[in-house]
Chains A and B, each alone.
Chain A
């Protein structure tokens, strides 16, 4: 059963630097001054550790990277255009599918932008629950980052440990809204469904387990000489570079710049919660690792405070008094009027006043911004997503210059990208 792939195009059929688009900076074969030839290595879009369908074209001098050119767009779904062709409430589920490891955070930014457009604010109790869910989502996202980042550097077991704990968070999401990954959890105006009675207990259990597990992760990596050798001094982002590449999130704070939207421009109830923003010193891969690890610990603090506070509250979860909020589900199964009102709202949607709104929230990866323009119709006129990892990814060529081939996967990991969010 011996066959060869002679009929299909092979590597030899293409010139060594066959470009996929006309705009690549790496296109022609290059020779260094000392006469040595560079080889071009096409990493991805099918590659085990480009975190999805990122394609990175590398010019290598042996194992040292001379040039690096990330190519994106392999997961472009046109979320912004889809957002302009759906009614406001129908846009929210699309945001789940951008950064699919932190869906509640995406939802949160989107509904907050819509609420700002309608000049509406969710009730206080709903805001606390939003904080809890968003912060749980931040931990879930950081766990995926930690697991895959460590796996890229070769620490095989970390990924399984991290996904084990992420499972607990997904169970909480499932108990809360029925979905685990693409949750569509946040609604315009708050939460229309009651909080399941078992939920606070589940979250408390998680809060009890997780700090212990965090110690295990830190024990495996913090003092591991190989981990230190692979991360310390690698991928250094100076403060100037971090600002000029307009990085946000841990990529920015790892370089020691204190900018966390939760502190700088507090939204929801973050100004009432006590937490600290961890900062790095050198801006290398290890600093960003420490920053994200500490963020998870601070997040535990936030969730504990918010839960303590919200458990005592018995106020409404939904701003039903507003005209832009879906009518109550109550009665939809028993009275014709309630059912009709509900039905009409779902079919026709609502039309916010003419205007525009931008909301930026502190996503697990940086500043996630939603910009909406309303022309007074029931569809957004413009729906723009500023995704943090798309902007952060821009620093990759800068970091990769002069690094080793093995560092590229560490660098991709440390920027923390999800291609669904990069390509949108």
Chain B
């Protein structure tokens, strides 16, 4: 059992991949917020279609994306099915009737909208994050959003420990195996070995974090003096255009939903 670090190849020179990380996240977050407000097929379909259409502009390939996102497909299907079964909109023709398990045309439609909406909520953020490098993100958070640098770079330092921690996970598993632990077919025995391995990982991580903090303090990380940046993150016109495009797209989708009467506030 490995900690998968699924890397996906993206073309870093693609028009949207080159944008400022803060702009990418802002552009992906806006449709998400609009979708949270309403449950309707119009906004969901339009925003999902826009996200799908933007895939090549992020420099992502369909094959890699599908390989990476198949669990999303599974989850979307389950969300649609669950909503169809447990909704109280049971009008229309009966499609399946097994006592409490009743699916009708209307409930199936309700489920399909819920599934579509969840896919539209997830996809833009996935595309944006797949093309963001954590180092660029930390720089942009500090330089564009004025996030306190101690927190941005402190968490970046911990992010950089992640591959080390993942490697340690392997070592812990092998050392346990060498002592005859692990490899059980009984899931309860396997879970207990796994819990011990996770705890050891956590202890090691905290210890390493404490040492890292001491080393960072020794180099003046806690200093209150004015900081300068070694790497500049620019927020150019194209970045503003990306955010503006997202605003326009979201506004258009919401307007269309309201005009067609499909708009349906989730808390209404």
A and B associate in one complex:
no
- Give residues in A with beta carbon < 8 Å to B: none
Binding site for A on B (CB under 8 A): none
